[in-house]
Structure 1
Amino acid sequence: MYLGLDLGTSGVKAMLMDGDQKVIGSGHGALNVSRPHSGWSEQAPQDWISACEEAISGLKAQFPKELAAVKGIGLSGHMHGATLIDAEDKVLRPCILWNDTRSHQEAATLDADPRFRALTGNIVFPGFTAPKLVWVKNNEPEVFGKVAKVLLPKDYLRLWLTGEYLSDMSDSAGTSWLDTGKRAWSSDLLDATGLSERQMPGLVEGTEQAGTLRAELASKWGLGANVVVAGGAGDNAASACGMGTVAEGHAFVSLGTSGVLFAANGSYLPKPESAVHAFCHALPNTWHQMGVILSATDALNWYSGISGQSAGNLTAELGNELQAPTGVTFLPYLSGERTPHNDAAIRGAFIGLGHDSSRAVLTQAVLEGVSFAIRDSLEALKSAGTSLSRVTAIGGGSRSRYWLASIATALGIPVDVPADGDFGAAFGAARLGLIAATGADPVSVCSAPATEAVVEPVSALQDGYEAAYQRYRALYPAIKSIQH
Structure 2
Amino acid sequence: MYLGLDLGTSGVKALLIDAGQGVIGSGHGTLDVSRPHPGWSEQDPLHWIRACEDAIADLKAAHPGQFAAVKGIGLSGQMHGATLLDAADQVLRPCILWNDTRSHVEAAALDADPRFRALTGNIVFPGFTAPKLAWVKNNEPAVFAKVAKVLLPKDFLRLWLTGDYMSEMSDSAGTSWLDVGKRRWSSELLAATSLEEKQMPSLVEGTEKAGALRAELASRWGIAAGTPVAGGAGDNAASACGMGTVGAGHAFVSLGTSGVLFAANAAYLPNPASAVHTFCHALPNTWHQMGVILSATDSLNWLSEITGKGAGELTSELGETLKAPTGVSFLPYLSGERTPHNDSAIRGSFTGLAHESGRPVLTQAVLEGVAFAFRDSLEALKTAGTTLTRVTAVGGGSRSRYWLKAIATALQLPVDIPADGDFGAAFGAARLGLIAATGADPLAVCSAPRTDATIEPDAALGGAFADAYHRYRALYPAIKAVTA
Give the whole-Å Cα distance in 2 for the aligned partners of 1:279 and 1:454: 28
Q: Identify the residue that residue 159 of structure 1 maps to in structure 2.
A: 159
Q: Which residue of 2 aligns with 1:475?
A: 475
Q: What is the Cα deviation at residue 59 of structure 1?
A: 1.2
Aligned pairs for 1:77-92 (under 5 A) are 77-92=77-92
Q: Does the residue aligned with 1:357 lie in a helix, a strand or coil? A: coil
Distance 1:65 1:222 in 2: 10
Name 2:144's counterpart in structure 1.
144
TM-score where L is the length of structure 2: 1.00
Give the aligned partner of residue 99 of structure 2.
99
In 2: Cα distance, 1:262 partner to 1:244 partner: 12
Aligned to 1:335: 335
Q: 2: distance between equivalents of 1:351 and 1:181?
A: 42
Per-residue CA deviations over 1:233-289 (Å, capped at 9, x if unaligned) read 000000000000000000000000000000000000100010000000000000000
Letter matched to residue 407 of structure 1: I
Aligned to 1:53: 53
**Structure 2 CA distance for aligned equivalents of residues 333 and 193 of structure 1:** 29
Counterpart in the other structure of 1:275:
275
Give me the whole-angstrom Cα distance separating, in 2, the residues matched to 1:211 and 1:313.
Answer: 45
- CA deviations on 1:81-124 (whole Å, 9 max, x unpaired) are 00000110000000000000000000000000000000000000
How far, CA to CA, are the matches of 1:311 and 1:5 in structure 2?
Answer: 26
Deviation for aligned residue 1:172: 0.1
Quote how far apart the aligned CAs of 1:64 are: 1.1
CA deviations over 1:290-323 (Å, ceiling 9, x no partner)? 0000000000000011111111011000000000
What is the match of residue 288 of structure 1?
Answer: 288
Match of 2:380?
A: 380
- The 2-side partners of 1:461 and 1:5 are apart by 41
C-alpha displacement of 1:226:
2.2
Per-residue deviation, residues 157-187 of structure 1 (Å, max 9, x unmatched): 0000000000000000000000000000001
The structural deviation recorded for 1:60 is 1.3
Residue identity in the other structure for 1:283: L
Q: Which residue of 2 aligns with 1:16?
A: 16
Between the aligned partners of 1:435 and 1:396, the Cα distance in structure 2 is: 27
* 1:360 CA displacement: 0.6
Matching of residues 321-332 of structure 1 within 5 Å? 321-332=321-332
- Report the residue type matching 1:189 in the other structure: L
CA distance in 1 between counterparts of 2:60 and 2:452 reads 32
1:411 aligns with: 411
Listed as ranges, the gaps of 5+ residues in structure 1 are none
Deviations 1:51-84 (A, max 9, x none): 0000001111111111111010000000000000
Which residue is 1:425 aligned to? Answer: 425
> What is the alpha-carbon distance in structure 1 between the residues aligned to residue 146 and residue 304 of structure 2?
42
Residues 174-189 of structure 1 aligned to structure 2 (within 5 Å)? 174-189=174-189
Shift of 1:25: 0.3
CA distance in 2, matches of 1:460, 1:358: 25
Instruction: Look up the match of 1:348.
Output: 348
Q: Which moved more, 1:214-223 or 1:63-72?
A: 63-72
Alpha-carbon offset, residue 225 of structure 1: 2.6
3-state secondary structure, aligned to 1:288: strand
- 1:119-134 matches, within 5 Å, as 119-134=119-134
1:319 equivalent in structure 2: 319
Q: Which residue of the partner structure matches residue 228 of structure 1?
A: 228
Residue identity in the other structure for 1:247:
G
RMSD: 0.4
Which one-letter code corresponds to 2:299 in the other structure?
A: A
- Report Cα offsets for 1:353-385 as digits up to 9, x if no partner: 011111111110000000000000000000000
- Tell me the residue number matched to 2:76: 76
Unaligned runs of 5+ in 2: none
Distance 1:467 1:79 in 2: 35
The one-letter code of the counterpart of 1:36 is P
**Residue of structure 1 in register with 2:219 after alignment:** 219
Q: Aligned partners of 2:62, 2:97: CA distance in 1, in Å?
A: 32
AA at the equivalent of 1:412:
Q
Instruction: Give the whole-Å Cα distance in 1 for the aligned partners of 2:99 and 2:352.
Output: 28
Find the aligned partners of 1:377 and 1:161 in 2 and give their Cα distance.
36
- Give the whole-Å Cα distance in 2 for the aligned partners of 1:358 and 1:160: 49
1:107 and 1:317 mapped to 2: Cα distance?
41
Matched AA of 2:339: T
Moved more, 1-10 or 303-312: 303-312
